[in-house]
Amino acid sequence: MEENDIRVECACGQAKLTLFGAPKTTMLCACRDCQKASGTDHTALALWADEQLEFEGDTTSYATEADSGATVHRHRCARCGTPVFGTSSRLKGHRLIPLGLLGDAANDLPPKSMIFSRTKFEWDHTSDGLAQYPTYRDN
């Protein structure tokens, strides 16, 4: 492992993830699906290319169709249910890693933007000062 690599595990230690180098981006997502999955206004995510990570352990997953038409698969530890990663048909070759899984390493990866800001709750000011996109980013 290099100095910037991150090694994390779920709450019970069964699912382990090693992340190599910096993520492509970090973001908050306030789409209705992320609100339901997180139980709050948004999820906080980092995007790593598949070749930048190693995963070991077992997960259970479920798929949902997002408002955009993309299919999102959310993977959780098969034993304790900790969210471990997600995939999207819109982001082939990448995985969405919940920033909360990273522990203290998340302090070095603040979100850069909020996507699906059109459905964020008025009381949540977490994204104040971040670039806001009503749906996906423009690139």
Query: Would 95 be classed as within a structural domain?
Result: yes
Residue 70: its pLDDT value, please? 87
Whole-model pTM? 0.92
What is the per-residue pLDDT across 52-76, written as a single tens digit (0 to 9) for each?
999 999 999 999 987 778 899 999 9
Range of the structural domain that residue 28 is part of: 6-133
Tens place of pLDDT for every residue, the chain, 139 residues? 677 899 999 999 999 999 999 999 999 999 998 999 899 999 999 999 999 999 999 999 999 987 778 899 999 999 999 999 999 999 999 999 999 999 999 999 999 999 999 999 999 999 999 999 998 876 5
Query: Would 48 be classed as within a structural domain?
Result: yes
Query: CA-to-CA distance for 35 and 4, rounded, in angstroms?
Result: 30
Listed in sequence order, the residues at least 6 apart from 40 whose beta carbon sits closer than 8 Å to its beta carbon are 124
Query: Would 22 be classed as within a structural domain?
Result: yes
Query: CA-to-CA distance for 96 and 103, rounded, in angstroms?
Result: 16
Query: Would 139 be classed as within a structural domain?
Result: no
Helix (H) and strand (E) counts in the chain: 1, 11
If one counts the domains in the chain, the total is: 1
**Residue 100, domain CATH:** 3.90.1590.10
Is residue 99 within 8 Å of residue 44, measured between CB atoms? yes
Query: Would 66 be classed as within a structural domain?
Result: yes
Query: Would 138 be classed as within a structural domain?
Result: no
Is residue 52 within 8 Å of residue 46, measured between CB atoms? no
Query: Would 1 be classed as within a structural domain?
Result: no
Query: Would 104 be classed as within a structural domain?
Result: yes
